Amino acid sequence: MCGIVGYTGSRQAAPILLDGLQRLEYRGYDSAGIAVNDGEKIDIVKSMGRLAVLRAKCDDGLSVSGSVGIGHTRWATHGKPSDVNSHPHVSENGRIAIVHNGIIENFAPLKEMLTNRGRVFKSETDTEVAAQLIDYYYKGDILDAVARAVRELEGSYALGIICADDPDTLVAVKSHAPLIVAYGEGENFFASDVMAVVSHTKTVSYLDDDEIAVVRKDGIKFYTPFLDEIKKEKYLIDWDISAADKGGYEHYMFKEIMEQPEAVRRTIEPFIRDGRADLSQYLDKEYIKNLDRIIVIACGSSYHVGVIAKYNIEKLARIPVEVVLASEFRYCDPIVTDKTLVICISQSGETADTLEAQCEAKRLGAMTLAIVNVEGSSIAKGADKVIYTKAGPEVAVATTKAYSTQLAVTVMIALYAAECREAVSKKEYDTILSELEAVPEKMKLILDDKESIQYLAYQHFNNEDLFFIGRNIDYALSLEGSLKLKEISYIHSEAYAAGELKHGTISLVVDGTLVIAVTTYGRLVEKTLSNALEVKARGAHVMGITTEGLREKVASAIDEIITIPNTHEVLLPSLAVLPLQLFAYYMALYRGCDIDKPRNLAKSVTVE
């Protein structure tokens, strides 16, 4: 996902833009650039590669003067990574400069129309078409030109624009991509997320689709595409920039793994009162009693949370749950009624696939509940109800603390729904709630023993192929273990239902194949162990993750063991995910990978 930032005020813009882009690096990018209006013309500096290359090109911003500017980190969609395709882009006369996050789907016909009217293009990007279109409509009023142009754009975009003729103005507009404006003292900003500006101000407004913001140092005004002025609420960000720093850790991912106990505690605490998990302000009791189905929609790790939630909600509340990849949901003719609860899970709240699926679910008549980590994000605002996880800013591309807090919320949903439908005994209810509240402390015990996992990673980091196997929630969890390993260590792995391996894939098991058997679920441990023996018989080396209570039983069949504290079965994944996260982290560390910014990946995928 691209990152965009804009500044207008009395200070030099370039250094502020570069610092803002630095804060957005975690989103993943392949090039970066800035454009600054020096009062007469627009200076542009941009380059492929890391921000360090851009900083060197403009002497850390000192060689670019002017107090109004825009900046961009690009994650290539249209046009390969290159200097010429980097943002900002300009109209051919240099009058309009633009930065863009998203995809303009009708850029080709617009480019043809403009070319036929004599416009000459330099790049392959859809963004340059937007710059040329705005300039095409420009008759001296930048707001009017932007309004006319965006009325013709289709697709997803967050645009930041400056005009050489208007040396103190930024214009920002969005559709299906995140964009905020931020209020400073005698200076104002826009950005794709608060991370870029929170060191300057914590007061922001969230633009809604098609709204246009005109940002000047003395104030910000908002308009509809037909230039009617509108008012926007201001929000105060409830964390400060230190929460988004590495805090002395080598990587954000490791810091965020270590933050999980506190993140889970912060997330569940507001809901637990008088010995109950109370979600009644989000899910009406009668509504839950009359539900006939729940559909969970998400992508990636958030989808893996959904797979575990399915097991837990069906087990406790006896409500049928279907988990659907967001990118599939819209195209599978889903069966949705007003008795279907659709739960959308997303850390960023900006994942395009999930956002579009949520819109479709609402169109089909479902009530939508979002579980999101970023306040004011598109998925949060588009849902009927939203439960915010309190993981704090998650910077590493590979999610950890957001995953764990999402998981904790789904356990509360399962527990609350079971109580509404009187599907669980008070004794079991109390046990689960007490074990949920004990999760943070038990997480700390696992994290205190991280060196044992580091040691195992050191034994195996040269592996190029791994299998994760498990049954029931152990299988659901192994999906996440496999993704974590793949996305940061680039080691190929597959998560497989342990009982399914012998139906084909076991043919891949040879001498030395590493198989990680997730065997925490006591009811099926014997069956998983027999699957472990099957692969061992074919030469596999088996590492097991199990509970202290099952350790002795599992030791008989497994070469190496990692144990987690005992807990109720619905909370086993909340603990067992930590060794899997740490294992992936250390494997990537020993392989010298770029752990916080894995190749090809972005923190939030705002394009379909």
Q: Are strands 203-206 and 235-236 parallel, antiparallel or unpaired?
A: antiparallel
22/604 with CB nearer ligand AGP: 604
Q: Does 399 bind ligand AGP (CB under 6 A)?
A: yes
Binding segment (CB under 6 A) for ligand AGP, from list 31-39, 90-98, 343-351, 450-458 = 343-351
Q: Which of 505, 517, 503 is nearest to 546 (CA)?
A: 517
Q: Does 607 bind ligand AGP (CB under 6 A)?
A: no
301/489 with CB nearer ligand AGP: 301
DSSP result, 382-451: HSSEEEE-------SSS-SHHHHHHHHHHHHHHHHHHHHTT-S-HHHHHHHHHHHHHHHHHHHHHHHTHH
Q: What is the DSSP letter of 374?
A: S
Min CB(570)–ligand AGP separation in Å: 21
Q: What stretch of H or E contains 289?
A: helix 285-290
**List 13, 162, 576, 605, residue binding ligand AGP (CB under 6 A):** 605
Q: Does 582 bind ligand AGP (CB under 6 A)?
A: no
Min CB(349)–ligand AGP separation in Å: 7
Q: Which of 83, 23, 14 is nearest to 55 (CA)?
A: 14
96/518 with CB nearer ligand AGP: 518
Min CB(393)–ligand AGP separation in Å: 13
Min CB(302)–ligand AGP separation in Å: 4
Q: What stretch of H or E contains 213?
A: strand 212-216
Would you state the structure tokens that stand for residue 202, as one six-digit string? 């914590």
**List 67, 169, 604, 606, residue binding ligand AGP (CB under 6 A):** 604
**List 145, 164, 391, 398, residue binding ligand AGP (CB under 6 A):** 398
Q: What is the DSSP letter of 225?
A: T
Binding marks (x or -) toward ligand AGP, 302..321, rule CB under 6 A?
x-------------------
Binding segment (CB under 6 A) for ligand AGP, from list 98-106, 168-176, 205-213, 347-355 = 347-355
354/567 with CB nearer ligand AGP: 354
Whole-angstrom distance, CA of residue 131 vs CA of residue 124: 13
Binding segment (CB under 6 A) for ligand AGP, from list 259-267, 392-400, 562-570, 579-587 = 392-400
Binding segment (CB under 6 A) for ligand AGP, from list 229-237, 242-250, 381-389, 394-402 = 394-402
Whole-angstrom distance, CA of residue 149 vs CA of residue 565: 59
Min CB(489)–ligand AGP separation in Å: 13
Q: Nearest-CB residue to ligand AGP?
A: 300
Phi/psi zone of residue 225: left (φ > 0), alpha (ψ -120 to 50 degrees), beta? alpha
Residues carrying an active site annotation = 2, 603
Question: Is residue 592 packed enough to be buried (19+ CB in 10 Å), middle (13-18) or exposed (0-12)?
Answer: exposed
Residue corresponding to tokens 């930048």: 142
What burial letters (b/e) apply to 554-590, b meaning 16+ CB within 10 Å? beebbebbbbbbbbbbbbbbbbbbbbbbbbbbbbbbb
Residues in binding contact with ligand AGP, number by CB under 6 A: 15
- Listed in sequence order, the residues at least 6 apart from 214 whose beta carbon sits closer than 8 Å to its beta carbon are 143, 169, 170, 171, 220, 221, 222, 223
263/397 with CB nearer ligand AGP: 397
Binding segment (CB under 6 A) for ligand AGP, from list 104-112, 187-195, 315-323, 391-399 = 391-399
Min CB(531)–ligand AGP separation in Å: 27
Q: Do residues 302 and 347 touch, judged by C-beta distance below 8 A?
A: yes
Whole-angstrom distance, CA of residue 477 vs CA of residue 304: 7
Q: What is the DSSP letter of 204?
A: E
Min CB(491)–ligand AGP separation in Å: 15
Binding marks (x or -) toward ligand AGP, 270..309, rule CB under 6 A?
-----------------------------xxxx-------
Q: Are strands 276-277 and 272-273 parallel, antiparallel or unpaired?
A: antiparallel
Q: Give the number of other Cβ atoms within 10 Å of residue 263's Cβ.
A: 25
477 to 506, contacts with ligand AGP by CB under 6 A?
A: 487
Whole-angstrom distance, CA of residue 391 vs CA of residue 243: 10
348/513 with CB nearer ligand AGP: 348
**List 205, 351, 478, 606, residue binding ligand AGP (CB under 6 A):** 351
**List 346, 358, 528, 581, residue binding ligand AGP (CB under 6 A):** 346
Whole-angstrom distance, CA of residue 43 vs CA of residue 63: 10
**List 169, 260, 348, 482, residue binding ligand AGP (CB under 6 A):** 348
Min CB(147)–ligand AGP separation in Å: 31
Q: What stretch of H or E contains 114?
A: helix 107-116
For residue 393, say if its preceding peptide bond is cis, omega within 30 degrees of 0.
no
Min CB(394)–ligand AGP separation in Å: 9
103 to 162, contacts with ligand AGP by CB under 6 A?
A: none
Min CB(604)–ligand AGP separation in Å: 5
Binding site for ligand AGP (CB under 6 A): 299-302, 346-348, 351, 354, 397-399, 487, 604-605
